[in-house]
Amino acid sequence: MASSISFLGSYSGIDSATIDSMIQAESGKLVQYTNKQTSITAEKNAWKDINTRLDSLFTKLGALGEAKTFLSKIATTSDATKVAITANTDAVASNYAVEVEQLATSTQVTSNIIDSAIGKTSKDKLGLNGTFTILNHEKTSPEVDGKPTTGGFEIKILKEDSLKDIVGKINEVSKETGIEAKIVDNRIIMTDSKMGARTMTFGGKLTDDKGIVIDDSNMAEALGFGISPDQVIEGKSAILTVDGIEVERDTNTITDAVEGLTIDLKGVTEASKPVTIGIKEDTDTTVKAFKDFVDQYNSTLTFIGDQLDVGDPSVESNTTGALVGDSSLMRLQSSLRSLITGAANTGNASYKNLESIGISVDRYGAATLDTEKLKTALADDSTAVKKMLFQTTTTETAGEDEKGEPTTITTEKEIGIAQKMRALVDTYISEKTGIIATKSETYDKSLKDLSNSITKFNERLVKKRENYVAMFTRLDTAMMEAESQLAYLQSQFSTTK
């Protein structure tokens, strides 16, 4: 098959380069599309960054309303090797003297040497067959919570089981029994997971190869649990005094002796030498929460300002923010500045706005925190400071229910400065109804439409180029044929002379 021959430009002088120039001259609309695409993408990304900053601001504002922000406590102890202390928000700032007379311990039962284990390792078969029964403190008591107890926990023992296998089976049910086992010198040590004076007993039966119980047999005795008194170390309760009041508990972690305090006993104290524990207000946590808010507020407002910046219009290469003139963003900027300088009725005329507790705003909108002024306000009236940020009022008005009967309508309104700022921010960052989500959808639609327009425009340019190539190819072909005919005519005239 002969290859096709292109005559493009052979006679007319209009070649592929010329056609490319013609197509390029018609591509102005495409440049407009791509520039618009770049602009919209920049706007969308700017709003995405604003959303991230607003979301963080929303979180920082919320932290100001958490109990731990204002009620956090610092706990100290004069001897952490004897008494450790943790305080939650319910703790009262005060000092306590703690003496530890006795630590709580768990009941422990140690088996005698297991006859079938003599001369063997913990991995060798013991040749015992039958069942081993564990009765924990609850099972050995006549009744628990007013209900009679039933049988214990039964474990099946096989001839091929080693001492290690048997201990493994005991520990498999330790969550139910509350008793854990370990091996020391081919003996089994059973330990109650709970502390205090608790009991545990063991039983079970030995069986032959056919599963028939051997008379007067006892699996517990075969495993070394006689039980003689010297095998049992009975658990004890913790005994301590707090400010002279004796406390006894079956644990070394005591949470119910002093409200808001967890007292962790580590060792016995010397007589008449109590450990002093102190609880005080943790103002550092409060100050940090305010600092985090101020820092995030400034970061957010600075970024918003950058996006609205018109630059210097008198400069030829002027650069502006991605969202210059955006009314939604200007409204957000104005509202945030207005709210941070707003006031709230706290019941204390000395503390009615953020400036009164140390947060001032300069003429450029930047906020500054005076930590000493804030600490003074917190020490003077922390309740007023909290009310300034978070406060809900309730109003009741007369109305009618669905049946037209008279009723009282209760309306709650959040009037705290932090609450108002969070409400404003939420109108922008809400995932479903927020302004930013709505704008993002609009941007996505515009970008999709532009992408379709660009695709169609490119298709038209490709088609136009094909038409140009075909048209000028026909022109070159026609000119070639005309030249050939002219040459023929000239040759004919030459022969007739």
Helix (H, G, I), strand (E, B) or coil at 179: strand
Burial class (CB in 10 A: 0-12, 13-18, 19+), 491: exposed
Q: DSSP string of 67-123?
A: HHHHH-EEEEES-TTTEEEEE-TT--SEEEEEEEEE---EEEEE----GGGTTS-TT
Pairing of strands 130-135, 153-157: antiparallel
Best CA proximity match to 461, nearest among 38, 33, 29: 29
How far is C-alpha 256 from the geometric centre of its chain's CA atoms?
30
Q: How far apart are CA 128 and CA 160, in angstroms?
A: 8
Calculate the alpha carbon distances from 225 to 27, 55, 108, 188 in Å. 96, 64, 12, 9
Best CA proximity match to 162, nearest among 183, 134, 141, 191: 183
pLDDT in 10s for each residue of the chain, 497 residues: 444 455 565 566 677 777 677 667 666 677 787 888 899 999 999 999 999 999 999 999 999 999 889 999 999 999 999 999 999 989 999 999 999 999 999 999 999 988 887 888 889 999 999 999 999 988 876 544 555 445 689 999 999 999 999 999 999 999 999 999 999 988 999 999 999 999 998 988 999 888 788 876 789 999 999 767 788 999 999 999 999 999 999 999 999 999 999 999 999 999 889 999 999 999 999 999 999 999 999 999 999 999 999 988 888 888 899 999 999 999 999 999 999 999 999 999 999 999 999 999 998 889 999 999 999 999 999 999 999 999 988 887 888 778 878 887 878 888 899 999 999 999 999 998 999 999 999 999 998 988 887 888 777 777 777 777 777 777 777 777 777 777 777 777 776 55
Q: Cα angle at 176 between 172 and 179, to 5 degrees?
A: 75
Q: What tokens were used for 303?
A: 């970024």
Alpha helices in 309-369 (DSSP H): 327-340
Best CA proximity match to 359, nearest among 347, 375, 371, 376: 371
Residue ranges of the domains in the chain? Answer: 73-104+237-281, 106-233, 284-312+319-427
* Model confidence pTM above 0.95: no
